[in-house]
Structure 1
Amino acid sequence: MPVSWGLLALASGMLALRWMPALPAAGTLLLQALLGLILLRGRLWPLGLFLLGLAWACIGARIALDDRLDPALDGEIRWLEGQVAGLPAVAEGVTRFELEDVRSPRAELPTRLRLSWHGAPMVRAGERWRLAVKLKRPHGLVNPGTFDHEAWLLARRIGATGAVKAGERLRVAAGPSAWRDGLRLRLLAEDAGGRAGGLAALVLGDGSGLSVADWRLLQDTGTTHLMVISGQHISLFAGVLYGLVALLARLGLWPGRLPWLPWACGLAFAGGLGYGLLAGFDVPVQRACLMLAVVLVWRLRFRHLGLFVPLLGALCTVLLAEPLVVLQPGFWLSFGSVALLVLAFAGRLGAWRWWVTWWRAQWVMGLGLAPLMLALALPISLSGPLANLLAVPWVSLVVLPPALLGTLLLPVPGLGEGLLWLAGYALELLFQVLDCLSRQVPAWVAPQPPPWAWLLGALGALLLIAPAGLPFRGLGLALMLPVLLPPLERPPTGQADILMLDVGQGLSVLVRTRHHALLYDAGARRGDFDLGERVVVPTLRSLGLDRLDLLLVSHADNDHAGGAPAVMRGLKVDRLVSGEPGRLDVGRLAEPCQAGEQWRWDGVSFRTWHWAHADDSNDRSCVLTVEAGGERLLLTGDLGARGEAAWIASGQPLSSRWLVAGHHGSRTSSTGFFLRRVAPEGVLISRGHLNPYGHPHPRVLSRIRGLPARIHDTAEEGAVGLRLGGFGPARGAREVPVFWREK
C-alpha cells in the first residue's frame, strides 16, 4: 500500500500542472521543493511527494516557456540554420517540417521550430538547411470547445513557428533519419490498393499520406488510434514475441539452460523498442516504450504488488521523463484506457469466453472514456465500440503483420511488394466498412457540461463499468444523464448572446436568442484547412447547437464564405441568405439579401441592408443590425467607404453601442464619418495574427481610439463574447488564465 500511495501522490503532483493558471516564480518553486523534501521524513510524506512532483512539472514547463521566441522577434525575418527533424509532410503544395539544433548569428532562437514552405524543393529528414524564415511566437485560435494549438506546440517544445522565404541545403541527409525517410518514400510509391499512406502510418508513424477525409472517418468511428503508432502497436508486437517464447517453453522447445521468462521479457522489450525506433521514437512512442518497460519489469519481479502498481509506475515514469505530456489528449486517453480495463476486469469472478471478454472491453472503453472525451473537447464516436470490435483485430492480425513483414522484405523482389499489396487491400476493405458505419452512426460533438454535471457523469460511468456485485451500480445511468442531456445556458427573452469566433483572417459571428440562432459568415477555407469544419462547427456544437435558423453569408469572398459548405454539412440550416447569392458555392441556392428586411426573435430585433448599386464584392456585403433591450450591434461584412456612405444615406438608424469593424480593420473601411455616425463604445475586429495585409490599419485604430471606443481584437483576445441587451462588457476567451499562454 505505501508503494501505491507514494506513486499516486507523485503522479498527482505532476498531473496538477495541467490545471495551473500560471507557473510559480523560481523562488516559490525552490521553497516548494525544499518543503517537499522535509515532509518526506514524516507522516506527511505523501504530501511531500506531491509537492516534489508539482515542482518537477513546473520546472519542466518553465524551461519550455523560456525557450519560446523573444517577443521582439515576432514577425521578423531571420536567417538561421538547423537540421530537419522527423519526416516532412507535403500537402496542397506546402511542405511542413520541424527544425532542431537551430542557430542564428544575430539572435537567440528557440531550439526547435515548426516551419512551412510554399513551393519548397524536396526537403528530407536529417538534412541541414540555411533558411530565411518569418518567425512567429506560438499562437493559435482560441474558441470554446476546440483544439488548443498553443498547448500542442508547447507539449512538443516548439518555441516558434515560421514561414520559409528562401533557403539552401548545407548538408545532405545521412544516418537513421535519412534511411527512415527513404523507406517512407519507398512505401508511398507502392500501389497497395491506394492505401500506401495508411501503411506508412502503421509502419513508420507517418500520417501525412492520409487525407483529411481519412482522418475525419477515423475520428468519427473512434479508430484514430489504429493509424497512430501508440501503445497498442508497440505492446502488440512485444506481446507476439513474449507469447512466442512462452509457447516454445510450454512445448518444451525452448533451451533449458536459458530461463524463459527473462528472455521473453527481454525479447519483448527489444522488439517493442525496435518498432518504436522505426516509427521515429517521438513522444507518444517514447511513452509507449516506457510503459512497456515498466510492465515487463513488473511481470518479471513484482507481480505480488498487484495490477495498479505497474500502471502507476508507468504513469510516474512517463511524467518524470516529460511533464508536458499532460497537455496532449493522447496521454490522457492511453492511460485512461488502461485504467478502465484494469478496473473493469480486476474483480472478475470465473473465466469468460474470449468473445465476451473482447466485447466487454469495447463497451467499457466506449462508455468509460466518454467523460474524458468530453473534458478534452473531442467528438464521441457512437459507433466506436462496434468499429473497434472489428477494426482492432483486423489491423492487428490481418493488416499489420504483412505490412511489417513486407517492409522488411522489400529488398526481395516481388515478395515485399506482394505482402504490402495484401496489407493495403486489407486496409482498404477496413476503410470501406468504417465508412458505412460512420454514415449510419455519425460522431457526436456533445455540448460542454458544467463541472458539476461532468463530475456526476464521470462517477456514473465508473459505476457502470465496475465489477458485478458492487452496490448501486444501476445508479450510474442516472448520474450520467446530466452529461448526456446537459443544461444549456440560454439568454433571457429580450437579450442575445453574441460570439465573434476566432477564425484568423476571416469572420464568423454567432447570434443566439432564447430559442433561435443566426450565424453571420463562416470563416475561410485554405486548401485542406477548413475553418468551418475545424472551428465553426465544433464551437457551435459545443454550445449545444445542431441547427441554425439562418446562415447569413455577407458576400462570397473566401474569408467569409469558405467555411459555409462545412457548416451546411455539419448543422441543419433552415435558411440561407447572402449579398452575393450567385457567387456562393455551397451546394444550395441562397436567397438574395434584401435591404430593409426586419424580423423579431424572442424580443430581439434584426434588420438587414444591402447596397443594390454596389459594383464590387466588398460593397455587396449584406449587413445586419441586431438590437436587444435598446443595445445595438452592427455587422458590416467587408463594406467599404462607398458602401458605408450609401448606408448612411439610406436613413437607417446607425447609432450603436457595438460595431464589428468592416473588412477586418482595413483602411478602406471604418471611415471617420461612418464611425462618428455610429459612435460605438466598443469595436470588434476579427483578423489573423501577424496577417500579411497589416490589418487593422493604424489609421483605423487611431480613428477608433479618437471616439473614444474600446477595441476587442480576436488576434489578441481569442473569441470575443458579449450579451446584447445586458449592457455588460465584452470578454475574450484568452481571459481564462492558463500557464501555456503566458506572455
Structure 2
Amino acid sequence: MRTGMMALAVGLLAPVFLPALPPVGLLWVLPVVALMLLPFRSYPLALLLFGFTWACVGAQWALNDRLPRALDGETRWVEGRVVGLPQNSEGVVRFELADARSRHEKLPGLMRLAWYAGPPVNSGERWRLAVKLKRPGGLLNPDAFDYEAWLLAQRIGATGTVKDGQRLAAAQWAWRDSLRQRLLEVDAQGRGAALAALVLGDGSGLSREDWQVLQDTGTVHLLVISGQHIALLAAVMYGLVAGLARLGWWPRSLPWLPWACGSAFAAALGYGLLAGFDVPVQRACVMVALVLLWRLRFRHLGAWWPLLLAFDGVLLMDPLASLRPGLWLSFAAVAILIFTFGGRLGPWRWWQTWTRAQWLIAIGLCPVLLALSLPISLSGPFANLLAVPWVSLLVLPAALLGCLLLWVPWVGEGLLWLAGGLIDWLFIVLAQIAGRWPAWIPPSIPGWVWALGCLGAFLLMLPRGVPLRPLGWPLLLILALPPRERLAEGVADVWQLDVGQGLAILIRTRHHTLLYDAGPRFGDLDIGERVVLPALRKLRVERLDLMLLSHADADHAGGALAVARGLPPRRVISGDPPGLPLELHAEACDSGRRWQWDGVRFELWQWSRAHDSNQRSCVLQIEANGERLLLTGDIDTAAERVLLESPLAVPTQWLQAPHHGSRSSSSMALLNVLRPHAVLISRGQGNSFGHPHPMVMARYRKHGLTIHDSAEQGAIHLQLGRFQAARTMRQQRRFWRVAEQSNP
C-alpha cells in the first residue's frame, strides 16, 4: 500500500514539471486505463494515473478560470464581495474580490485588485467597481519568485486597478477583519501589526524593516501563522489532557486518549478558522488530523506512513499546492525531524535534542531553499534556538488568550500588551543578529552541483559513526562555492531584466560589471530592491564597477538607491545627476568618453543641448568582436537626429528601443542608419502609456527586426561578440505561464 501511496504522490506532483498540460481527450482516457489495470493488481500504476489525471484536471480548471484575452487591458464595471483581509500600505488598498460579475462578460471567480488612494475597504463588503482588468502575469527573471505561479496557486484569475467604485452593502460576518482592527487599535507596545500576523496570518501591517529582520534570521515562520503554530496548539491541548490523566485528575469514566486527540484537533481547527483557513492552514490541519489518527489507532505504522498520507491528502484537496514553496518547506522540515530522531541508538539529552534539531533542519533545508530560489539564513539555527521557545511558550499563549478575553475589561488588553512587549523584545534581539549575519541569496548553480549538495546534506544528517559521513561537509560547501564560468576575452554577457515599466540592463565582461539603469520605483514598490538586486546576486555579481543611470526619471533610476546600498558601485554616472539622490554621488555623463574592459569597447554620448531629462539620457554603445549594442535610455527623435551625426551612427546589431517604443522615438532615420537586426523593448504589460506604439512596431517590422519584448518574454539574455540569437525566460516553458503572444 505504501508503494501505491508513493505512486499517487508522484502522479499528483508530475504536472508541475510539465511544459504544457496534456490535451483534455487524454485526461478522459487515463482514468479508464487506470481502472483497467486494477484487475491485474497494478495498483501503483493505477494510482499514479489517477493522481496525474486529478492534478491535471485541477490545474486546467484553474487555467480556464483566467480572464479572457479579449478583456486584457479593458475597463469594466464589476460587482463582487471582498474576501480575505484587505491590505492598506502607503495609500494603496489591495484586496481580493470574489463572485465578481459584469453585465456582459464572464469574469473569473476571484480577482486581486489594487486601489490607489482608495477609501477603506473591509472584508465582507459588496462593491461596484470600475476596474482595468489584466490577465494574471508577473515579472520573469532568472531564479526569481514566479508571481504568475503564485496567482494560479491562489486561484486568482485576474488582477486589476480600481478607477472608481461605490459600496453596495456593509460587511457581513467579517469578524476576522473586526478582530484585526481591534488588534491594531489595542495598546500592544507598538506591535499590534505583529500580533495580527501571529493570530490572523495577516502580515500586511509589518514594516519592510521587520520583514527583512525576519528573513535574515529565518524566523518568518514564527510571526506569520504557520503549521508550527497550529501543531503547537494541538500539542498543548493533547499534553494538557494527557498530563491530567497521568496525575489522576482526569475523570475515569472518560477515556483520556480519545479526548486528548479530539481536544487537540478541535484546537487546531479553531485556530485554523481564526487564521482564515486558507490552503497552508488547511494543510496543517490535515497533517495534525492524520497524526492524531495515527496516535489513536495506527501507532504500529511508524511516522513515515502518516506523513505520506498527509502529503497525498493535501495534494488531493488542492493539486496546485505543489506550486507553493510552503508545501515543500513544511513537509521537508517534518521529514528531516523524523529522519533525525528515528532509529537513533540511545537517547539525547534535552539540550542536545533541541540544538541538533535546529542545526539539522538548517542543513537539510539548504538544498530545498536553493531549489526554490529562496534566501538562506546564516543565523537561522541560532536565532530559532531563542525565538521558537520565546514565541511558542510566551508570546502565542498570551496573544491567543488576549484575543479570547478581549470582552473582559482590562484582562484581554493586558495580555495583548504583554504579548506585544514580548514581541518587541524579540525584534530587538533579532535585529542585532540580522545586522551581523544577513540572509544569503545564493547564486544560480548547475543541477549537478545541487545534486552533490543534496548528497552532502543527507550524509550530515546520518548518525555519528556512519562511514563517509564527514564527506558531507565538502559536498555541502560546494553549494556555497560552485565553480565559476569565466567569459572569454572580447565577449560581453548582457541581461535585460524584466522590471515592468522601466529599464535595467546588466553587462558583464570577463572581469568587470556595469549596470545600465536600475529599474523603477513607484510608491511602496521598489523594483531595485525587490527584483534588480536579487537578480544581480543570483547572477553572481559580487561588485559593480559602474552604475550608469541614463537619466533621473523614476522608471530608470528609482531603484538605484536600493541597489547602491546593497551592492555599492565604484562609480555612478548619469545623464542628469542633479535629479538623483545626493547619496549616489553621481558624475555627469562625459559625452565622447571611451574605454575598454577585457577586449570589449564602450563609448558614451549625450546631447549637449537637451531640454528635458529624457533628452539628456546618457547613451552607451558596447562593441564586442565587431557586434554592437546601443543603449539609448529615453531619447526622442530630436536627440536621435543629433546622435546620427556622432561616431555612434554606425551599423548596430542590437538596439534598445528608445523610450520603451514611444511614438516620439525610433525614427525611420535612426533605423535606416543603424540597420539593427533586433530590438530590445523593456516595458510593463498593459502600461498606461501605450508603449510600444503600434506605429513604432510597424517600423520595426518593416525593417525586418527581431523583436524581444520583456512584457511578453520576460528577461532577455544575449552574449555580445558571439553573433548568436538571444534567449528569453519564457522559453523555459511551464504550463502556468501565458504563452508568448505575437508582437503588437
- 2:222 maps to what in 1? 226
Q: How many residues align?
A: 739
Structure 2: distance between partners of 1:521 and 1:191: 44
- 1:439 maps to what in 2? 435
Q: Deviations over 1:452-507 (max 9, x none)?
A: 11111112101111233433212222322332211233432111111100000000
Q: Which moved more, 1:493-502 or 1:25-34?
A: 25-34
* Counterpart AA for 2:725: P
Tell me by how many angstroms 1:192 deviates: 1.0
Tell me by how many angstroms 1:326 deviates: 0.6
Tell me by how many angstroms 1:525 deviates: 1.2
Tell me by how many angstroms 1:701 deviates: 1.0
Q: Deviations over 1:435-456 (max 9, x none)?
A: 1111101111111111111111
State yes or no: 1:514 paired with 2:513.
no
State yes or no: 1:712 paired with 2:708.
yes
* Counterpart AA for 2:136: P
- 1:47 maps to what in 2? 45
Alignment of 1:241-640 (within 5 A): 241-585=237-581, 587-640=583-636
Tell me by how many angstroms 1:92 deviates: 1.2
Q: Which moved more, 1:646-655 or 1:405-414?
A: 646-655
Structure 1: distance between partners of 2:42 and 2:667: 66
Structure 2: distance between partners of 1:489 and 1:324: 36
- 1:188 maps to what in 2? 184
Alignment of 1:697-736 (within 5 A): 697-736=693-732
Structure 1: distance between partners of 2:506 and 2:426: 39
- 1:12 maps to what in 2? 10
Structure 2: distance between partners of 1:67 and 1:674: 44
- 2:83 maps to what in 1? 85
State yes or no: 1:209 paired with 2:167.
no
Structure 1: distance between partners of 2:42 and 2:459: 31
Specify every segment of 5 or more residues in structure 2 that has no aligned partner in the other structure, as ranges. 740-744
- Aligned to 1:80, the other structure's residue is in SS state strand
- 1:37 maps to what in 2? 35
1:88–1:95 Cα contact (<8 Å) kept: yes
- Aligned to 1:470, the other structure's residue is in SS state coil
2:15–2:55 Cα contact (<8 Å) kept: yes
Match of 2:102 among 101, 104, 116: 104
Structure 1: distance between partners of 2:176 and 2:41: 52
- Aligned to 1:242, the other structure's residue is in SS state helix
Structure 1: distance between partners of 2:82 and 2:465: 56
1:86–1:125 Cα contact (<8 Å) kept: yes
* Counterpart AA for 1:338: V
Structure 2: distance between partners of 1:56 and 1:492: 49
Tell me by how many angstroms 1:44 deviates: 3.6
Structure 1: distance between partners of 2:560 and 2:287: 44
Tell me by how many angstroms 1:742 deviates: 4.2
- Aligned to 1:208, the other structure's residue is in SS state coil
1:488–1:543 Cα contact (<8 Å) kept: no
1:657–1:679 Cα contact (<8 Å) kept: yes
Tell me by how many angstroms 1:43 deviates: 5.2
Structure 2: distance between partners of 1:491 and 1:717: 25
Structure 2: distance between partners of 1:621 and 1:654: 19
1:503–1:531 Cα contact (<8 Å) kept: yes
Match of 1:239 among 235, 238, 245: 235
What TM-score comes out, normalization by structure 1 length? 0.98
- 2:147 maps to what in 1? 149
Structure 1: distance between partners of 2:737 and 2:382: 39
Structure 2: distance between partners of 1:31 and 1:319: 22
Structure 2: distance between partners of 1:407 and 1:458: 43
Identical pairs, percent: 61
* Counterpart AA for 1:566: A
2:452–2:475 Cα contact (<8 Å) kept: yes
Structure 2: distance between partners of 1:224 and 1:55: 35
**RMSD over equivalenced CA pairs, Å:** 1.2
* Counterpart AA for 1:17: P
Structure 1: distance between partners of 2:448 and 2:39: 37
- 1:133 maps to what in 2? 131
Q: Deviations over 1:518-552 (max 9, x none)?
A: 11000011222110111111111111112111111
1:40–1:49 Cα contact (<8 Å) kept: no
Query: Residues 118 and 645 from structure 1, CA distance in 2 versus in 1: closer, same or farther, beyond 3 angstroms?
Result: same
* Counterpart AA for 1:6: G
Tell me by how many angstroms 1:129 deviates: 1.4
1:343–1:467 Cα contact (<8 Å) kept: no
Q: Deviations over 1:373-411 (max 9, x none)?
A: 111111111011111111111111111111111111111
- 1:65 maps to what in 2? 63
2:561–2:584 Cα contact (<8 Å) kept: no
- 1:667 maps to what in 2? 663
Match of 1:121 among 114, 119, 126: 119
Q: Which moved more, 1:648-657 or 1:710-719?
A: 648-657
* Counterpart AA for 1:158: I
Q: Which moved more, 1:120-129 or 1:712-721?
A: 120-129
